[in-house]
Structure formats: C-alpha cells, structure tokens
Amino acid sequence: WVSLANYGAPGDATKRTYAFLREAQTQTLALPNTGQALAIDVGNPDDIHPVNKQDVGRRLALLAKNRVYGITGDDTGPTFAGAAREGAALRVKLAHASGLIARDKPVQALELAGADKVFRPATARIERDTLLVSSPTVKDPVAVRYAWTNSPDANLYNGAGLPAVPFRSDNW
C-alpha cells in the first residue's frame, strides 16, 4: 500500500488527524507479507492525490523487487527504532538509515515534549544513523515526534533516497 501523502485536511483543527491515520497504516506492517511505500514527501497540502506518481511507483517497485522477487536492496526509509535521553536532548535511533541526510535544509518537522506533554519545535543534528534532537524550550525532553502533522515538511531520507517514516516515541 501507499501511505497517506502530506495533505492539509481542511477542517481538522488539530492538524494531526492524518498523522494518526499514517501511524495506523505503519502498524499494519506487523502483518506478514506487507509493505508500505511512503508518499509523505510528494503530496500537496491542498490536494489529497499526489501529482508525483513516479516516485510513488518507484517505491512500490522497490518493495516488489525485494519482497516478492528476492532482488535485495533498500525498500524502506529510515524507521524509528528508539529514543534515549542524552543530556538536554534525545538520541533517536533509526533503522534503514544508512547515508542519513536532510534534503535541502536542516531536518524539519521535529518536536520535543517534556513531562508537561506539550510538544514544541525542535532541531536535530544527524550523527551517522541517529538524530540528536533538542529544543531550547524543552530542557528535560521525554518524547520526540517527526512529521507528526497532516502536512509536514518531511525532508529526512536515507542514502537510497527513501523518506523517513513519520514517528512518535510517546503514546499520548
């Protein structure tokens, strides 16, 4: 399947409904013989149907080549594998993150929360296949989110050019 693209979802006051739907799609990967091609970076905030079908098709083809035809290679982008406190920051571990890069600008769409459970904008430094995420307004972070809105500016990719799967470390 193709995950929901970045879309503004007019009328959604929380601006996060699609993030929860994408999370449900990703959780379905626990079922056998499944695969997910991300469209988080090719959508249009004003139109739920992405114009860029070529990248979506290429990502679906990578899944088929690897999982059906046994032609091994990367078929998914960086995937959340955990977060641990490191001083006033959180170290985010990612699987499938070889060659981790932020395209065109620093990593966007990051948020941190402290014990108050209020998420605030954050920045990150890429260190190999991890992110060191911090925010001057969150001194004691306990949770991190990436691309956790309806239409995030998702610009984190692995070396194969596949976008990172939106994630959250909390369950609030």
pLDDT digits (tens, 9 = 90+) for 112-163: 999 999 999 999 999 999 999 999 999 999 999 999 999 999 999 999 999 9
Q: Indicate the pTM of the whole model.
A: 0.96
SS3 state at 62: helix
Sign of CA dihedral 123, 23, 80, 144: positive
Residue 11 tokens read as 């009328």
Q: How many Å is the maximal CA-CA distance in the chain?
A: 48
Total length of the chain: 172
Residue tagged 């995030």 (tokens): 152
Tens of pLDDT, residues 8-29: 999 999 999 999 999 999 999 9
- The closest of 2, 42, 41 to 22, measured between CA atoms, is 2
